Structure 1
Amino acid sequence: MKESKFWKQYGSVLLLLGGILIGSLIGIFSPDTGKILKPLGDIFINLLFTIVVPLVFISITAAVGTMVNRKRLGKILGSTLVTFIVTGLFASALVLIWVQFFSPASGGDIELSTTEIDKTQSVSELIVSTLTVSDFYQLLDKSHMLALIIFAILFGLCVSMSGGDESPVGKLLKNLNEIIMRFVGIIMKLAPIGLGAYFANLIAEYGPQLLGDYGRSMIVYYPLCLLYVLIFYPLYAYFSGGKEGVKRMLKHIFTPAITAFATQSSAATLPVNKEACEKIGVPSDISDIVLPMGCTMHMDGSVLSSITKIVFLFATFNLPFTGIDTYAMSILVAICSAFVLSGAPGGGLVGEVLIVSMFGFPPEAFPLIATLGFLFDPMATALNASGDTIASMIVTRLVEGKNWLLQHSTNGSK
């Protein structure tokens, strides 16, 4: 009986870890086999990416369109933005303290190479291209996630003003939302095999590069992320729902974190986060808004990464990383670069260009932090994505009060 209960609660996580472990061992001991398994991993990742755009559009539109209380909608959106900014500031404070003791570039032996940086957009062009697209079909591209979120919110408001959940479109959206979540459930049953194959190829192809000149930076960054999780996740969860909030967070946070670490994509982890929030007891109208916004705008792991990269460049170019103005600029650039990151792997390049241009580093600096971005990305994405689940809990606490967990019975609490 106890074994059955344990397996019910943690079986999916154990299968996921088992798949990744087996895949990693294949990549280490039989690289050729790992590369052969690549198509299986790619199929699973493609399935996750394929469902992202309809999931974001339908979940947000359904949540906003069927919400009778528009005051609640405003409170959710306001609480979401405040949560994203405050947690980003906490992450910034931690990394600024950490790098005073552990420099990511001390003892490094990294050669500069000349790489031309693409022409960066002006601030106004960046805002326009981030918030909007020039044609409807571009909304179907996951790289325009923020524009899709804004479009979905506006569409949902129009549905709400045209009859809400009692209108034919409102009923259709509700049914589509149920269909999408069933689709997600089917995809996630393939996760142990898909992520195992993905990791087998990843280790086979890139494993040796992880032990090169950038080893010290990883030694500084990865424990920093772990420290953030150990200190702030329990505090956020306790603020959200007391001891029960911490208990449920610990029970359900691992699957999103592992999936994000393996896929290196907040967007691909969105379906998994949705399931985790449902099990924790976060109301669907809150998670349907917070999670899609979070996979583009809530990037605590990327904030930690950005400031670490900034300190790395200061040390590499023998510049002193001191002064309130330098710290303030680092926080501003880190949060801004995190806000413009897309949910897809490689989106950090935008933030890296921003770092180089804002601090006036030469073009040679770009390949340095672009390489760091590749090495930091798995852990940064794990924090970004799992942090969205935590953010959903915080927003629920701000919207519904401290006793919200008592008001929502969940499968995960049984």
Structure 2
Amino acid sequence: MKRFKLGLVSRLLMAIVLGICAGFILPGPIIRIAVTFSGLFSKYLAFIIPLMIIGFIVTGIADLTQGAGKLLGITTVIAYGSTILAGTLAYIMASTVFPHIIDSNTLAKIGDPEKGMLKPFFEISLPPLLDVTSAVVFSFLMGLSISWLKSQKNDYGETIYNLFSDFSIIIVKVLSTSIIPVLPFYIFGTFANMAHSGGVFTIMSVFIKVFLCVLTLHIIYLIILFIISGAIGKKNPLQLLKHQIPGYLTALGTQSSAATIPVNVECAKNNGVSEEIRDFVVPLCATIHMAGSIITITSCVTAVLMINNMPHSLSTMFPFIMTLGIAMVAAPGAPGGAIMSALPFLGMVGIISTGSLGTMLIALYITQDSFGTAANVSGDNAIAVIIDTIYHRYIKKEDNATS
């Protein structure tokens, strides 16, 4: 008989529910045990974050600057542009709609979310090996340098690339064995503390409304993408959307862009995308096109900033969105996906990634991660239609004329 195994979403939902119940029922000293564990885990997470940046971004940049020349460049620009556009639209939606959801009365009820929270029994100092900014700069320099060495057919380039590629595998293993499995306990402690302080239900009611807005924007953005791709490719957008349904549903079930690639390639085939393009664009965009995820993260981050009366202007959010579009290139290779890749950069908008607000974002993002993933992979096939059209109308003709 197969052993029954709860998925990550189910475990996180249970952790949230049990944490809230424990916060109301259990005495303060018992809750402080869970809070102490969460505090220790947050230190460990802060230690791992710079290593995550190095492990993922170095090889990500080295990979993205190698490949099929013009086609790779065009696909990367369109995918990044779509991701940034999605994040910007999410901010516009959030800044327009959320003030009606998060009004002054709601803010007054929430007050300071961390006020009244219990402190851990003890803390342990575990400073990271280097800070986030240093990790980002180092990763970009190494990624670009490795790409240049490989383009020079230098054996050292391949050796260094393999070193960082293996390091990336180690980081993924660390995440899958000592971060992701422990997240429910971490989140349990945080929500127990929030419930004990008395503000959990008001905060949760806000985020339910936020997610309804997010899911609506996912659908609207996909419709826009397929209308554009249909216009460029001279195809019926409704047929393109219909053919994408199996890929969308598969992503909902697997919560993985990578696991959905075979089904998504078949969807691209049904949309009339040529074999050479679908076999190239769909796997590539599964790595670099994160429109659904950035919609969710941008919306949630804006909501958190509003709840805490923190600055959330476009000048604050847009650099974060631009950076996130690059950082999330690593997301499909990491358990926990986009939100784990976004953690190191929450400080750009004033959120401490290992604090209670960062924990809340992790929990609330992962519990609906499947919808973001489904939007990501569906958008990949809209891009595939565009790239296929560009390839056959311009690039292939140009190459044939040259030869």
Q: Give TM-score, length-normalised by structure 1.
A: 0.56
Measured in 1, the distance between the counterparts of 2:168 and 2:208 equals 39
Tell me the residue number matched to 1:267.
258
Q: CA deviation at 1:343?
A: 4.4
2:83 aligns with one of 79, 88, 94: 88
Amino acid of the structure 2 residue aligned with 1:348: A
Q: How does 1:369-408 map to 2 (within 5 A)?
A: 369-401=361-393
Q: CA deviation at 1:340?
A: 2.9
Q: Which runs of 5+ in 2 are unaligned?
A: 9-66, 147-160, 174-199, 397-403
Cα pair distance change 1:95/1:378, threshold 3 Å: same
SS at structure 1 position matched to 2:98: coil
Measured in 2, the distance between the counterparts of 1:142 and 1:395 equals 33
Measured in 1, the distance between the counterparts of 2:288 and 2:342 equals 16
1:320 aligns with one of 301, 304, 311: 311
Measured in 2, the distance between the counterparts of 1:82 and 1:357 equals 26
Cα pair distance change 1:296/1:357, threshold 3 Å: same
Q: CA deviation at 1:250?
A: 2.2
* 1:320-341 CA distance string (max 9 Å, x none): 322x422422321331333231
Amino acid of the structure 1 residue aligned with 2:369: D
Q: CA deviation at 1:309?
A: 2.5
Tell me the residue number matched to 1:354.
344
- Residue pair 2:90, 2:299 contacting (<8 A) in 1 also: yes
Q: Please, which moves more after superposition, 342-351 or 262-271?
A: 342-351
Cα pair distance change 1:369/1:217, threshold 3 Å: same
Q: Give TM-score, length-normalised by structure 2.
A: 0.58
Amino acid of the structure 2 residue aligned with 1:280: N
Measured in 1, the distance between the counterparts of 2:259 and 2:274 equals 21
1:295 aligns with one of 286, 302, 320: 286
- Residue pair 1:83, 1:394 contacting (<8 A) in 2 also: no
Measured in 1, the distance between the counterparts of 2:86 and 2:76 equals 16
Q: CA deviation at 1:221?
A: 1.4
Q: CA deviation at 1:389?
A: 1.3
Q: CA deviation at 1:141?
A: 8.4
- Residue pair 1:265, 1:344 contacting (<8 A) in 2 also: no
Q: CA deviation at 1:376?
A: 3.4
1:230 aligns with one of 223, 240, 243: 223
Matched length:
273
Q: Does 1:75 align with 2:70?
A: yes
- Residue pair 1:352, 1:370 contacting (<8 A) in 2 also: no
Q: CA deviation at 1:342?
A: 2.3
Amino acid of the structure 2 residue aligned with 1:391: I
Q: Which runs of 5+ in 1 are unaligned?
A: 1-35, 43-71, 145-208, 405-414
Amino acid of the structure 2 residue aligned with 1:361: I
Tell me the residue number matched to 1:186.
none
Measured in 2, the distance between the counterparts of 1:138 and 1:289 equals 26
Measured in 2, the distance between the counterparts of 1:38 and 1:138 equals 32
Indicate the RMSD between aligned Cα atoms, in angstroms: 3.8
Amino acid of the structure 1 residue aligned with 2:74: S
Measured in 2, the distance between the counterparts of 1:100 and 1:137 equals 42
Tell me the residue number matched to 1:339.
329
Measured in 2, the distance between the counterparts of 1:393 and 1:143 equals 32
- Residue pair 1:302, 1:380 contacting (<8 A) in 2 also: yes
Q: CA deviation at 1:245?
A: 4.5
